Homo-oligomer: A and B are copies of this chain.
Amino acid sequence: MHSRGDSVSYSDLRLRDAHQIRAAIRKGSYNRHTAGLAAGKLQCNLAILPEASALDFLRFCQRNPRPCPVVAVSDTGDPYLPTLGHDIDIRTDVPRYRVFRDGELTEEVTDISALWRDDLVTVALGCSFTFENALMASGIPMRHIEQDKTVSMFRTNIPLVPAGPFAGNMVATMRPVKTDRVADAYRISAAFPHAHGAPIAQGDPAQIGIADLGAPDWGDPVEVRGSETPVYWACGVTPQNVLMNARLPLCITHAPGHMLIADLAETLDAPLPLAETTNR
């Protein structure tokens, strides 16, 4: 990890718009997580992979839209994403990237310009920040955010529909919701199919193959209180996990929590409004 410019603090960036935040990231002035930044703007999970695997990966995403909601696909070799925002250069505008070779994490970097190739395709996927913001705005608190933890993530027994080398089971997040607000949580998050949509299950973790809510596979455990029901959503770690298991020669993702911030509103029509996709 290196910094190429003057450092900017998280609280400085909270007052900036998406374009300004990306500019700070591009300069190397900010390389931390993006939760809570550019309020109301769409944030994205990233998968950058060789064109030879891109058609299969898009088929995989189409067949598994809950964990893999595609919000943009670049032209081959083109590092820009004009349908997501103005002057988004995917080589520099994400705070932190993970580089996988043959399925192994080999580097975590803040700039992938030196790794860029003419055969790379970027796939941007919606992320849970979108529905979490909507839930909190409706008075459904997120305990992991209140406690400054990473959301609990679990391997489930829910099989994904395979495509080419991409296969496996779904990864799900769990958030405790007051039992009398669970129906609201379903309705509110269902309005964001481009950001994992409605929950995939609620209640007994065993029904989706989770043995112990206190021992998440990724992230931190959070308490589920007596008045609460555990609610499960499809998780953006699913495609990362599936990509890793496919052991592509090269694959680049964002580092968890270090997302691409788009210019589009996170409330965008599903999957993308045509008017907003024509800002090229």
Contact = CB atoms under 8 A, between A and B. Distances in A.
Nearest to A69: B271
B274 A163 contact: no
A228 B200 CA distance: 42
Nearest to A121: B55
Nearest to A74: B59
Contacts of A269: 190, 193, 197-198
A86 interface: no
Interface string A24-58: 00000000000000000000000000010011001
B161 A280 contact: yes
Nearest to A271: B65
Interface residues of A, number: 39
A169 to B, nearest CB: 11
A157 interface: no
A62 B68 CA distance: 13
Given A54-B55, A64-B274, A75 B163 contact: yes
A70 B62 contact: yes
B62 A73 contact: yes
A65 B65 CA distance: 14
* Residue from A190, A277, A280 whose CB has the most chain B CB atoms within 10 Å: A277
A190 B277 CA distance: 18
A259 to B, nearest CB: 19
19 contacts: A54-B55, A55-B58, A55-B76, A62-B70, A62-B72, A62-B271, A63-B83, A63-B277, A65-B271, A159-B278, A161-B278, A161-B280, A170-B274, A193-B193, A193-B270, A193-B271, A197-B269, A200-B274, A270-B271
7 smallest beta-carbon distances between A and B, as pairs:
A55-B55, A193-B270, A59-B73, A65-B271, A66-B274, A58-B58, A161-B277
Interface of A: 51, 54-55, 58-59, 62-67, 70, 72-73, 75-76, 83, 121, 158-159, 161, 163-164, 170, 190, 193, 197-198, 200, 234, 269-274, 277-278, 280
